[in-house]
Amino acid sequence: MRWGIETYYHKLKQLVGVEQFSGRTPNAVRQDFWASFVLLINTAIAQKEAGEAVAERHQSKNKKHFYRASTTKIVIALRDRLVFATLCCHPELAAIALEDILFELSRAVFSVRPGRSFPRNPKPFLKVSHNLKSKL
């Protein structure tokens, strides 16, 4: 149970950037915080649907590794294009935009290698943020 909470918090901090707010007022911080949660929930839904599409596409192929959709690519695609797809006035255009997002996410895959013998050595994150968002 604890490991799942820690990985969820890691996704909030690293993928979505919940600690970097676009404003300084309490209302702006609350809006950014809840927008980050909505983005992460939509990421989980999109990752499930993209994972099903990846599994369906790779089902007939004899592959050495198991493939799944990249969470980082999902966050980027949803952050950039989901607002248009959900706020679009025409339902047909919104459905086409959502299908296009799902197709793109099912193509951005990486292999999951079970039984990895060498540990991963991730690079440390920069202590200085180079974007223009302020930190509180």
**What is the pLDDT at residue 73?**
82
* Within a domain: 65: yes
Within-domain flag for 55: yes
- Mark out the alpha helices in the chain (DSSP H runs): 2-10, 26-58, 71-87, 91-107
Q: Identify the pLDDT of residue 125.
A: 61
Q: Cα(76)–Cα(63) distance, rounded to whole angstroms?
A: 27
Q: What single-letter amino acid sits at 69?
A: A
The predicted pLDDT at position 131 comes to 56
**Per-residue pLDDT, 132:** 52
* Per-residue pLDDT at 64: 72
Rounded to an integer, what distance in angstroms lies between the CA atom of residue 58 and that of residue 117?
25
Number of domains in the chain: 1
21 domain residue, yes or no:
no
**CA neighbours closer than 13 Å in the CB half-sphere of residue 73:** 16
Question: Looking at the domain assignment, is residue 33 inside a domain?
Answer: no
Q: Is 84 part of a structural domain of the chain?
A: yes
| Backbone conformation region of residue 98, classed left if phi is above 0, alpha if psi is from -120 to 50, else beta | alpha
Domain that holds residue 63: 43-113
Per-residue pLDDT at 96: 86
In a domain, 95, yes or no: yes
So what's the pLDDT on residue 45? 85
**pLDDT reported for residue 133:** 55
Q: What is the pTM of this model?
A: 0.64
In a domain, 35, yes or no: no
Mean pLDDT by groups of 10 residues along the chain of 136 residues: 70 74 85 84 83 79 75 80 78 84 78 70 62 54
15 occurs within a structural domain: no
